[in-house]
């Protein structure tokens, strides 16, 4: 007796492919989660000032000149 229906034929390949797709999906999910966690995700603390905010405050208090402000802004990539 050879088995029941497509147990060893096409259905076996379909199940193997489905299992492979599930494993690839898990790997992609793990990579996405690790990457999102390392970037900080979108969970940035809204209370924490950005570097540009700090520069503006320092300029407003007179701690740095306009030229120093512009140079620091270029250095930070703004």
How does pLDDT run across 25-77, given as a tens digit for each residue? 999 999 999 988 877 655 566 788 999 999 999 999 999 999 999 999 999 99
CA distances from 70 to 22, 25, 42, 50, 52 (A): 51, 46, 28, 16, 11
Q: At residue 19, does pLDDT exceed 80?
A: yes
What's the half-sphere exposure (Cβ side, CA atoms, 13 Å) at 78? 12
As given in the structure block, the two tokens for residue 69 are 């402000």
> Where do the structural domains in the chain lie, given as residue ranges?
1-44, 45-78
Q: Are 58 and 64 in contact (CB under 8 A)?
A: yes
Q: What is the pLDDT of residue 39?
A: 73
Q: What is the DSSP letter of 4?
A: S
């Amino acid at each position: 007796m050879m088995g029941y229906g497509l147990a060893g034929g096409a259905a076996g390949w379909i199940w193997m492919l489905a299992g492979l797709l599930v494993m690839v999906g898990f790997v992609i999910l793990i990579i996405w989660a690790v990457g999102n966690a390392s970037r900080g995700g979108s969970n940035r603390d809204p209370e924490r000032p950005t570097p540009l905010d700090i520069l503006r405050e320092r300029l407003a208090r007179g701690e740095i000149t306009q030229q120093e402000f512009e140079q620091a802004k270029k250095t930070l990539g703004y």
